[in-house]
Amino acid sequence: MGKDLFSNLPDQILCHIVSFLPNESSLETSLLSTRWRDLWNEALVKHGTQEDIIGVVADFITNFEEFDPLKHPRKLQFHFAEESVVSVTVANNSKLMLDFSPWKEEIPIGYELEFKLSKQHIATYQSFPSTFSVKTLHLKSVSCFTSEVAASIVSNLEHLENLVVIDCKGLESLSVDSTSELHKLTILDCLELKTLRLKTSKLKSFRYRGPLPLIRPEYHFNLSDAMLDFRLGLSCSGLKAKDFDATLLTIKNSEVLTLCKWTFENDPESYLAGGSNSYVVKGTKCTGMEHLKLIKFMGFSSRRDETSLAKCLIHLIKGKPPKIKTSDGNSLDAMFVE
């Protein structure tokens, strides 16, 4: 008996056929032969316009079976405009990843981005699925051309608990408005960001890496886990110490706190100023940090600098001194730095 008709079809068509199967059935096709082994997990490719992105993403995650016992990710590549593509991955643990990375290098154009997750906000796409509840969203490489699409998708995810924003070139102002379920916010490598407005009443984890922007928390919230990595310096001139006071309030009760560089200031008149690399923390009555359990130092080249900073921190912290981890991963005993 000759080869079956499917054997003569190209992989792209076979992938398209497999994409219509439920997750468990599509996985079973990997047992047919060596050629079929990885077809079940290849990206589904579609084409359309930028206006179609929201609907395509909604339909894609609607067809994802949340209760598939194997919980394997499913992938989509949606091509729009001339050479633009968004990669969509639905993963386990209610996670959705959207990557707008351009295929060719683009000159970043400055733009503002606003995410609204309030319960009072009216969703722009009423057919967004409720069967698969996205709780974690990763947004990578959003640009001025795709910012409205990204904002619309976020506004439709009413059960979102964890938002991650990565490498958005040209992003100058970001506003996150959530009075609902958002507990975790991570912003990494958005190098042009100058203003960050946080209207997030239930935020418990905030992790930031990039130049120090003007951070404006509009609600009082107590972070239990915070990472503030400002080793790249200031994002704009004119920032003063008082502009950081509101941020200090949010980290005063943190249990895990990671601080890098611009959270501190050089003070040549301080008793610690033995060299140009010495640091001093300017404490206020709002920074008791009595709940702090762990301090992690990053980016220090000298153990002497770490010890000097640790001395300042221990004098500021009320209650039992926290554990201190140095840049090389070792522990710094609080008893020896007091």
Q: 300 or 208: whose pLDDT is higher? A: 208
Asked, for residue 133, whether it belongs to a domain, the answer is yes
Say which residues have a Cβ less than 8 Å from residue 168's Cβ, sequence separation at least 6: 113, 139, 140, 141, 142, 143, 190, 193
Tell me, yes or no, whether 114 and 25 share the same domain.
no
Number of compact structural domains in the chain? 2
Asked, for residue 84, whether it belongs to a domain, the answer is yes
Range of the domain at 26: 9-42
Tell me, yes or no, whether 21 and 122 share the same domain.
no
Rounding to the nearest 10 degrees, give the CA dihedral for residues 158, 164, 166, 171: 50
**What pLDDT, on the 0 to 100 scale, is given for residue 74?**
74
pLDDT in tens, 243-281: 888 888 888 888 888 877 766 554 444 333 333 333 334
Tell me, yes or no, whether 166 and 32 share the same domain.
no
pLDDT above 90 as % of the chain: 28
Question: pTM of the prediction?
Answer: 0.74
pLDDT in tens, 153-210: 998 888 899 999 999 999 999 999 987 789 999 999 999 999 999 999 899 999 999 9
Contact 114, 80 (CB under 8 A): no
Tell me, yes or no, whether 64 and 31 share the same domain.
no
Beta strands 323-325 and 84-91 are unpaired
Query: Span 50-64, mean pLDDT?
Result: 83
Asked, for residue 153, whether it belongs to a domain, the answer is yes
227 pLDDT tier (thresholds 50, 70, 90): very high
Tell me, yes or no, whether 80 and 136 share the same domain.
yes
